[in-house]
Structure 1
Amino acid sequence: MILQDVQNAISERKICVLIPTYNNEKTLKRVIDGVWEYTENIIVINDGSTDSTAEILSGYREITVISLPNNKGKGNALKTGFRKAQELGFDYAITIDSDGQHYPDDIPVFVEALLHEKEDVLLIGNRNMSQDGIPKKSSFGNRFSNFWFWFETGIKLEDTQSGYRLYPLHKIPKKYFTPKFEFEIEIIVRTAWKRIPVKNVPVKVLYDPAERVSHFRPFKDFTRISILNTILVIITLFYIAPRNFIHDFRKKSFKKFIKEDVLESDGSNRIKAFSIALGIFIGLSPLWGFHTLIVISLAVVLKLNKVLAFVASNISLPPFIPFIIAASLYLGSPFVHGNSNIFEHELDFELVKNNLVQYLIGSLILASTASSLVGIGVYLLLNKFSPEDN
């Protein structure tokens, strides 16, 4: 796209650029000037800076400046910017960091990508974290974030931590729970939960230790991010996944739902057999109360059929529990020495311990054996009725 086309598209699609800043006096002017080449729709949020940021911003009369009295974190600055952008009538906001790591001349990448989309989308700049010059801790943190984002949304991205983004202002959540760096994780996860596509677009990145000022506090912020991901995972497993399951069930005919979501027609027979075997193993394991959480989590991590694994795990329904426990005790008895018959001996600590060990060992034997036999049986059966090409 030529410059004029980019400028016209920014105006027509009502796009603004948000620049949150905190003590980035070395790079702020360069970033603003770079953005200025593409649009005057600029909102700078001065998050309580104590350096010469206010003086620098006083030289720009045409842009919108929001000055916060105290530093409350990047998340709070972005929320403030989003509210202002909507008040001014914008539909999209491109966010760019003021520390100089983002190149303003990548703005056309976001604009062009948006123009090619038929629906609203949240775009995140992919900085190619495997290239030379990227700090190892940043690369590791990005991989860590990518994994949990995939776990929580089912969307695979190469970069989820880049602050260079395009947000659809009327599709993102209206209320948030985090004020600092972890906000950028919360917003993309919760936007994805609303079934808004989240995609990467390629951008350049500059890490210059002489200019760049990072306000990331490794221990505190990593702890906050870990706590947030823990909460998001719990919500995913106990609300989002069941909600999506019910939504898809209602949306499709029963036959189509069984074919696409339960049998996953594009999944191999081996995947289906492994999914059922996993469900049987977890259902027979001595992890009462956590079967659903564990089986869905493992199915997601191992890329198995979540529905088949969940259904198979229900082998431990209440009517079957006495038989499962009895079989486990029987299989575990040869491995326990000492008194274990509760009908012939007085109840004491030794007896309880022996029965518990006997049950744990037996249940693992039962789970391993049953899951292996069922998995092999299902695989052979599927291959008989629906053979796959080698």
Structure 2
Amino acid sequence: MNPSLANQKIDSLNVCVLIPTYNNDRTLQRVIDGVLEYTNHIIIVNDGATDNTKNILSKYDNLTIITFTENKGKGVALREGFKKAIHLGYDFAITIDSDGQHFPNDIPVFINALEQHQTKNVLFIGARNMEQEGVPGKSSFGNKFSNFWFWFETGIKLQDTQSGFRLYPLQVIKNLRFFTTKFEFEIEVIVKSAWKNVDVKNIPIQVLYDENERVSHFRPFKDFTRISILNTWLVFLTLVYIKPRNFFKNFKKKGVKQFFIEDVLGSYDSPKKKALSIALGVFIGLTPLWGLHSVLVIFLAIFLNLNKAIAFAFSNVSIPPFIPFIIYTSTKIGEKILGVQNTYKLDEITQNFEFVKHLKTYIVGSFTLATISACIFGIISYLFFLMFNKKNTARNHG
């Protein structure tokens, strides 16, 4: 795409380019001049630079420039840049780093991708070739680490989640709440966008790592620690809130019958995998680990590569109306196994640590009930799925 055509499309799609910069005076002017070939809708955030950045920016009188008196971090720079872009009425912002690793002539790649995306509810991340010569080993490792946790938290597989060359949908960004201020912000923003059902996708871009002029402000120990803390929190939210929320939304929308037909019978998983998913769900749902059922079943389903939707659905076997019966049955099984006959009078339970005996009886019984029920449900469902598959195969060949 030639620059003039790209300029027209950038205008029609209401896109600006956001450049956060901090002490990159060796490459900053080249980046700005490269972007100006495609658009003058540019917002630059000077994040408290102490080098020659201020003099370089003084050469440009037609750009929007935000200046911090002290360095606040890339996350703050991007957040302030987004606020300014939204205030100016832009719908999308392309972010490009000022350290020279990105090529401004890749801007049309983002514009083309946006133009072809039907809903425009999308966030594009430029995918670098991390295998090419000159890419630092720490960057390649950090990217793989980030890709894994992004997949765990969103279910979306990407090849590059750390590239700063991106296109953001500002109408979504303006409604999100952010807490991070440094490099980890670029992880927080894509995860929370994905949680809002934004399509997060990679598109191929060029990359240049020139150690003679590139200045990286990434501090391996401090920033990696910040990223690890953020991912720990995001994983917790994923297991405790996001996955259960998505399941219940899906379940409510489809109804029991439709859910069973589409997500259970319609799943392309093997009968064995579906049966094991049901067994896992039933087992976790009947254990005495109240309050942790959702977290455990989703984590184990992911870890064991089972069907998360099926496992989560059957973990809800301990719905409120069934709880008294589950507790009663678990207690009776525990009494049989331990050879005891517990009293259920309140005054006797609260004396001489009798409640400990009752708790032990219940725990032993509940795990036994969970194991037996999981085996029964697993075997029956496995046979059912085998028969269902055979009938479908016969019908398709009939």
Query: TM (normalized to structure 2)?
Result: 0.84
Note if contact 2:125-2:203 (Cα within 8 Å) is conserved in structure 1: yes
Structure 1 residue 93 corresponds to structure 2 residue 93: yes
> Equivalences for 1:35-114 in 2 at 5 Å?
35-114=35-114
CA distance in 2, matches of 1:329, 1:7: 77
In structure 1, C-alpha distance between the alignment counterparts of 2:50 and 2:284, rounded to whole Å:
56
Q: Is 1:321 the equivalent of 2:327?
A: yes
Secondary structure, aligned partner of 1:171: helix
Equivalent residue number for residue 345 of structure 2: none
Q: Distance in 2 between matches of 1:263 and 1:177?
A: 41
Distance 1:342 1:126, change over 3 A: same
Cα distance in 1, alignment partners of residues 213 and 363 from structure 2? 59
In the alignment, what sits opposite 1:336? none
Q: CA RMSD in A?
A: 3.2
Take 2:31 and 2:246, find their aligned partners in 1: how far apart are those partners? 41
Letter in 1 for 2:386: N
Measured after TM superposition, the shift of residue 131 of structure 1 is: 3.7
Structure 1 pair 329–204 and aligned structure 2 pair: CA distance change class (3 A): farther
**Displacement after TM superposition at 1:348 (Å):** 9.5
Is the alpha carbon distance of 1:279 and 1:242 closer, same or farther for their aligned partners in structure 2, counting shifts above 3 Å?
Answer: closer
| Distance in 1, Cα, partners of 2:41 & 2:191 | 27
Matches within 5 A, 1:232-247: 232-247=234-249
Superposed, which structure 2 residues align to 1:299-314 within 5 Å? Answer: 299-314=301-316
Cα displacement string for residues 210-250 of structure 1 (whole angstroms, at most 9, x for unaligned residues):
22222122222222222222322333333333333343344
Q: For residue 322 of structure 1, report the CA deviation from its aligned partner.
A: 4.1
Over residues 159-188 of structure 1, what are the superposed CA-to-partner deviations in whole Å (9 max), with x where a residue is unaligned?
A: 111111001111224432111111111111
Structure 1 residues 252 and 288 mapped into 2: Cα distance closer, same or farther (>3 Å)? Answer: closer
Match for residue 22 of structure 1? 22
CA–CA separation in structure 1 for the residues paired with 2:222 and 2:335: 47
**In structure 1, what is the Cα distance between the partners aligned to 2:324 and 2:228?**
35
1:366 and 1:207 map into 2 onto residues whose CA distance is 59
Corresponding residue of 1:145: 146
Amino acid at match of 1:304: L
Change (3 A) 1:60 1:243: same
The alpha-carbon deviation at position 329 of structure 1 amounts to 7.2
| TM-score, structure 1 as length reference | 0.85
CA distance in 2, matches of 1:254, 1:362: 30
- Whether 2:2 is the aligned partner of 1:2: answer yes
The code of the aligned residue for 1:109 comes to V
Match for residue 283 of structure 1? Answer: 285
Q: Distance in 2 between matches of 1:276 and 1:95?
A: 45
Gaps in structure 2 of 5+ consecutive residues: 343-350, 394-398
CA gap of 1:298–1:32, structure 2 versus 1, over 3 A, is: same
What pairs with 1:351-366 in structure 2 (closer than 5 Å)? none
Partner SS for 2:167: strand
**SS in structure 1 opposite 2:212?**
coil
8 Å contact from structure 1 (residues 125, 163) kept in 2: yes
Q: Is the 8 A contact 1:281 1:370 kept in 2?
A: yes
**Deviation larger for 364-373 or 51-60:** 364-373
Counterpart amino acid of 1:276? I
Distance in 1 (alpha carbons) for counterparts of 2:88 and 2:364 = 66
Q: CA shift at 1:384, angstroms?
A: 1.0
In 1, Cα distance between equivalents of 2:255 and 2:377: 29
Per-residue deviation at 1:73? Answer: 0.6
Alignment correspondent of 2:167: 166
Cα distance, 1:34 vs structure 2: 1.5
Distance between the aligned counterparts of 1:73 and 1:104, measured in 2?
23
CA distance in 2, matches of 1:86, 1:157: 27
Quick one: distance in 2 between partners of 1:208 and 1:275? Answer: 49
Q: Does 1:225 align with 2:227?
A: yes
Tell me how far apart the structure 2 counterparts of residues 131 and 254 of structure 1 sit (CA, whole Å): 50
Deviates more, 1:3-12 or 1:266-275: 266-275
**Matching residue of 2:155:** 154
Superposed CA deviations along residues 178-218 of structure 1, whole A, max 9, x for unmatched, are 11111111111111222121111111222222222221222
DSSP 3-state at the match of 1:17: strand
Q: Does the C-alpha gap of structure 1 residues 255 and 73 become closer, same or farther in structure 2, counting only changes over 3 Å?
A: same
8 A contact 1:263–1:308 mirrored in 2: no
Q: Is the 8 A contact 1:152 1:232 kept in 2?
A: yes
